[in-house]
Copies of this chain bind each other. A is one copy, B any other.
Amino acid sequence: MRRYDDGMAFVPPPASVTVDLVALTVHQGGLAALLVRRGEAPYRGRHALPGGFVRQREDLDQAAGRELAEETGLAVDGVYVEQLASYGHPRRDPRGRVVTVAYLALVPGAPAVRGGGDAARADWVDLDTDAAIPSGLAFDHARILSDGVGRARAKLEYTPLATVLCLPEFTVAELRLVYESMWGVALDPRNFHRKVTRAEGFLEATGRTTGRNGGRPAQLYRRGTARLLMPPMLRPDPS
């Protein structure tokens, strides 16, 4: 931090800035999060969110994309990334004052991941039972993960975000599975079908069908052009 005005230059307290990622996917009918094993101190050997220090000439969003690629080997395109929140408790990191900017990443299809950088290894970890977030996460990462899952669940209600958890072409049943996995509820297939196919700009028909499974082949769809904020979305009873 260089001086700016006069001899009385105020020196701001030094800090470091990291990014951490809550990367979620739908995996065998359940929600899963991407966790790494830390290869370095502190918290060496513990589960943690992928992430790391922001570089000198890097924007926060860039840093998030870079860390995702470095520590997990995922290609950034095809992954939806948005900023989640920042965490800055003075003693959240034993190395000193570290403020982290957390990102939420939604990854279609649970692709294979590999470790890299600070991460000894990276894996998709199931979050089946509601509060079954792996205990013993490094730093305040349990809290961040929990916030990320909450944000993702909430946003499915009023945005067309569920489509980013599907591969580029998908069936209505696959899309329904995303909602059911994220919320842990069963949705009526008939009503769900009508709702998503009627919603303007939500889905775009490809004309093709798929026929792998036992029954009638399903239509294949692409993500529609509608971007965020699409209020009349679906949601089970608030019970």
Q: Which of B12, B55, B60 contacts A86 (CB 8 A)?
A: B60
CA distance in complex: A13, B5 (Å): 23
The residue on B at minimum CB distance from A15 is B17
Which residues of chain B are within 8 angstroms of A10 by Cβ–Cβ distance?
A: 53
State the copy count for this chain: 2
Q: Which of B2, B17, B59, B95 contacts A17 (CB 8 A)?
A: B17
Chain A contact surface mostly: loop
In contact, A5 and B40 (Cβ under 8 angstroms): yes
In contact, B94 and A4 (Cβ under 8 angstroms): yes
Q: Which of A51-65 contact B (CB under 8 A)?
A: 53-60
A24 CB, nearest partner CB in chain B, Å:
20
CA distance in complex: A83, B5 (Å): 31
Asked if A122 lies at the interface with its beta carbon under 8 angstroms from chain B, I say no
In contact, B231 and A53 (Cβ under 8 angstroms): no
Q: What are 30 A-B residue pairs whose CB atoms fall within 8 Å in the complex? A: A1-B16, A1-B96, A1-B97, A2-B95, A4-B94, A5-B40, A5-B41, A12-B53, A12-B98, A13-B16, A13-B53, A13-B55, A14-B15, A14-B16, A15-B16, A15-B17, A17-B17, A17-B88, A17-B99, A56-B90, A56-B97, A57-B90, A60-B86, A60-B87, A60-B99, A83-B86, A86-B101, A154-B229, A158-B158, A231-B235
